[in-house]
Structure 1
Amino acid sequence: MRIVHLVAHLGGGVGKAHSALCGADGGDVRRHYVLLEQPRDRRYVDAVIAAGAEVTVAPTPAEARALIAAADILQVEWWNHPKLYEALVRWDLPASCTVFWSHVSGLRAPFIPPALVSAPDRFLFTSPCSLAGPAVRGLPDEARQRVGVVNSGFGFGSSARPSLRCAGRVGYLGTVDFSKLSRDFFTVVERAGAAEPVSLWGAVDADSEVLAHRSQAVRFEGHAADPEAVLRQTGIFLYLLQPEHFGTAENALVEAMSLGCVPLVFDNPAERAIVEHGRTGFVETSVDAAAERLRWMLANPGEVMTMGVAAAEAMAATRSPRQSAQQLAAIYREVIDRPKRRIDYAALLGATPALWYLSTQGGWAMDASPLGPARKGTLAHFAQSFPGDASFAALRTKAAVA
């Protein structure tokens, strides 16, 4: 089965997921990745090539059309990247058997247009939490039957048993920015009163608001060159995220649990789908409850060790690359004999970059000007990707009138 993946890039969690999948594929799946932009980091590009996949970087529309036409299945790796919208809407893609795999939850912005969910042969999420999202709730039964979940977050293949030496060490690894991290993280740490500083692993921008929370209770460790080594020295994984983050598979959380770290998380949908409260970790609903739970965990290292074993066993049983590769292969075999169809993406997403951005916002709730940092998926990112596009001027006029 020849699968062409249309993907903005193979960085971050998406690249990590696909490098693991390629290594777990059976012999009946051949993957070809069509990257829409030059990779900033070739680590995962090189990994999928080493595993036997092919990669084409920044093709012309004609080159992409030829690759898709020759494939059995087109798999679109979905998130709100401007270049992906451009390829779908403007490149006149040929008819195909189409599978979408969404790497955003769709529970909050960036939203997923409901019409897009019902358009392909299969639309897949990476977490069951997305099934409660607005893109799925209103679907007719026939379309809902084509929606599924295939996990994209995997633990480390090597197991680890927590030790008393590490059980009381508290750490966080991930995005050290309030776009992901909860602003209450530091309040929980201070109220818990840990004897040792809590380690925060992850790069921090020099102007980040997070740095205002420097104190003796936390230690900013910077980028983790070897995340596995860091997590093996951690007993409690303090993964307190803000409620509107758009993560789904939560790679860092799964990886930590696979090594026996016991997570403490807030009651957000993506984390709740991974952590079983009281057995593989703790899910708390408030700052007070989280601080009290952290104090209990620090005072009870034996119970933390026992729970760490359960967490590692749960991740090994439910979140392996082989399981996801087998699920995807079964879906490919299901759709491969269906008639190839063209999808009118302009009708689903809009014909202009401004409308593409708006399709992620669920309406006209937006900032009125594409100024500020061009962080991924923001209006500034879309405007930077299409400089001089007239649709943004019209968008600002409409926003000002509204």
Structure 2
Amino acid sequence: MEVLHITAHLGGGVGKVLSRLVEASTRRGDGIYHTIACLEAPEKSQFVDQVRAHDGQLLVCPSQVELAEQVAAADIVQLEWWHHPAVAAWLGGELPAMRLVVWSHISGLHVPRLPTAFVTMPARFLFTSPCSWSQVALADLDGDVWLRVDAVFSTGGFDDLPEPQQRPLNGPLRVGYLGTLNFAKLHPRLLDFVAAVKLPNFRLILVGDPTTGVELLNEAQRRGLDSRLAIRGYRTNVAAELAGFDVLAYLLNPLHYGTTENALLEAMSMGVIPIVLNNPAERYLVEHGKTGLVVDSPAEFARVLARLNAQPDLRWRLSRQASQDVRKRFALEHTADCLLRHYQAVMTESKRELDFRPVFGDSPADWFRSCMGEEAYRFRDDGSVNLEGELPHVLFERCKGSVFHYHRQFPGDLRLASWAKILGAWR
């Protein structure tokens, strides 16, 4: 069975899961041969090397003709979706007949949204978290469509990470965060949580690219909280960083677009105790009081940290249970088995021609706006932007399918240029 994965890039969580799926197929001998078409040149070689080391085929920046030939030849085409402009451009063209499986790496609960028609068209549409079921627009889907929709967690497993070790139970509680440092992902009131902590010598260690956290760092300095933050920058050795944490303060924006949250699961697999907010995606990953702690305010965050600091036995119990749960529920074998089941079902169906232009539109500006959901009204056809009310942080992302991202990819689109200029000047 020849499976062609079309992905914008091989970074982050998607890079790990695709490269590990290639490895799993080789090891299991499951008869799946993976080709990955990467629409952008990889910035790092880690997952590229992993794919090639296990006999996976990798196409980097294929031409339209080459990609069309690969699509036509594949038994199954799996699209890795998160509203990236390069993928939107592919969907906006004329496509060969195919058996299409879409694996959505965003929840669709907030911007970027998933048009309902997009969910209904492929042979299979796979979410990466059950939290996506709560989208109001999906409630009206008929029974036949639900047979083609499922949730498969996007995880590459944790066999490459060490088992949890007994951590030191004396000394200050070591609290960290690993991931994106901007407020489209982090909670906009993160510093309120930091300020509420009463533990002596408390510091939150942030592992991530400082260039994405400029707003956070500036605000911390303004509030006199910069001494409570330690920025370590981007790190490739995740295990080494996590080994130095007792607690992961994973306090995300309630409007974030994530699902499987691999940074969170990797930390839990190594016995780092998660503290999360009561957001939809996190509720499917962390069980309060068993595999971590769920809080709803800065005051409660401060209370549970004080409790963990005072109760070493509780820390060890939560640490052990978090690791055991994650390594079982989110094992690579489980992901591979779920995908194989869908592949086998899809192979009983004929290839179909698909035209996504009625769903996403005919131009880059249309492609961008089609997934803006409740914020789409702001982006007007005359190139103006409605700036009334509170604008969500996600609109000001420099990448992640934002208007700035689309404008960089399609500089000749006049509406995108105007929208980006207005939003850039407003911020």
Using the size of structure 2 for normalisation, the TM-score is 0.87
Distance in 2 separating the partners of 1:395 and 1:217? 37
SS at match of 2:373: coil
Partner of 1:335: 346
Say whether the 8 Å CA contact 2:199–2:306 is kept in structure 1: yes
Distance in 2 separating the partners of 1:193 and 1:219? 17
- 1:183 is displaced (CA, Å) by 2.8
Higher mean C-alpha displacement, 136-145 vs 348-357: 136-145
Taking a change above 3 Å as real, the CA distance of residues 217 and 374 of structure 1, as seen in their structure-2 partners, is closer
Using the size of structure 1 for normalisation, the TM-score is 0.92
- 1:209 maps to a residue whose letter is E
Distance in 1 separating the partners of 2:263 and 2:373? 28
Partner of 2:275: 264
The 5 Å alignment of 1:189-204 reads: 189-196=194-201, 197-204=203-210
- 1:296 is displaced (CA, Å) by 1.2
Equivalent of 2:174, from 138, 144, 169?
Answer: 169
Distance in 2 separating the partners of 1:175 and 1:258? 20
- 1:118 is displaced (CA, Å) by 0.6
Higher mean C-alpha displacement, 154-163 vs 33-42: 154-163
Say whether the 8 Å CA contact 2:182–2:213 is kept in structure 1: no
Taking a change above 3 Å as real, the CA distance of residues 186 and 105 of structure 1, as seen in their structure-2 partners, is same
- 1:290 is displaced (CA, Å) by 1.8
**1:101-136, Cα deviation, whole Å (9 max, x unpaired):** 001110000001100001011100111111112452
Say whether the 8 Å CA contact 2:403–2:416 is kept in structure 1: no
Partner of 2:19: 19
Partner of 2:66: 63
**1:142-191, Cα deviation, whole Å (9 max, x unpaired):** 11221111111345323113423489321111112212111332222232
Q: Which runs of 4+ in 1 moved over 3 A?
A: 164-167, 365-369, 371-374, 390-396
- 2:167 maps to a residue whose letter is S
Distance in 2 separating the partners of 1:373 and 1:218? 22
The 5 Å alignment of 1:25-104 reads: 25=25, 26-27=28-29, 28-90=31-93, 92-104=94-106
Say whether the 8 Å CA contact 1:162–1:308 is kept in structure 2: no
Equivalent of 1:145, from 109, 125, 147?
Answer: 147
Query: Identity, % of aligned pairs?
Result: 37
Distance in 1 separating the partners of 2:416 and 2:243? 48
Does 2:378 correspond to 1:366? Answer: yes
**1:184-222, Cα deviation, whole Å (9 max, x unpaired):** 322222322233422111121187111131433222222
SS at match of 1:47: helix
- 1:311 is displaced (CA, Å) by 0.3
Partner of 1:8: 8
- 1:308 is displaced (CA, Å) by 0.6
Does 2:202 correspond to 1:180? Answer: no
SS at match of 1:292: helix
Taking a change above 3 Å as real, the CA distance of residues 374 and 174 of structure 1, as seen in their structure-2 partners, is closer
**1:297-353, Cα deviation, whole Å (9 max, x unpaired):** 122122111111000000111011121011111110111120110111111211111
Does 2:114 correspond to 1:112? Answer: yes
Partner of 1:160: 164
Distance in 2 separating the partners of 1:256 and 1:365? 39
Does 2:384 correspond to 1:378? Answer: no
Structure 1: unaligned runs, 5 residues or longer: none
Higher mean C-alpha displacement, 387-396 vs 134-143: 387-396
Distance in 1 separating the partners of 2:211 and 2:242? 23
SS at match of 1:112: coil
Partner of 2:331: 320
- 1:276 is displaced (CA, Å) by 0.3
Say whether the 8 Å CA contact 1:154–1:255 is kept in structure 2: no
Distance in 2 separating the partners of 1:84 and 1:366? 23
Higher mean C-alpha displacement, 204-213 vs 28-37: 204-213
Distance in 1 separating the partners of 2:227 and 2:6? 46
Higher mean C-alpha displacement, 386-395 vs 202-211: 386-395
Distance in 1 separating the partners of 2:95 and 2:208? 39
- 1:293 is displaced (CA, Å) by 1.5
Say whether the 8 Å CA contact 1:281–1:307 is kept in structure 2: yes
Equivalent of 1:389, from 413, 417, 420?
Answer: 413
Distance in 1 separating the partners of 2:213 and 2:331? 37
RMSD over equivalenced CA pairs, Å:
2.3
Partner of 1:356: 367
Taking a change above 3 Å as real, the CA distance of residues 223 and 31 of structure 1, as seen in their structure-2 partners, is same
Distance in 2 separating the partners of 1:195 and 1:40? 40
Distance in 2 separating the partners of 1:207 and 1:314? 32
The 5 Å alignment of 1:274-313 reads: 274-313=285-324
Taking a change above 3 Å as real, the CA distance of residues 54 and 154 of structure 1, as seen in their structure-2 partners, is closer
Distance in 2 separating the partners of 1:353 and 1:198? 40
Higher mean C-alpha displacement, 51-60 vs 273-282: 51-60
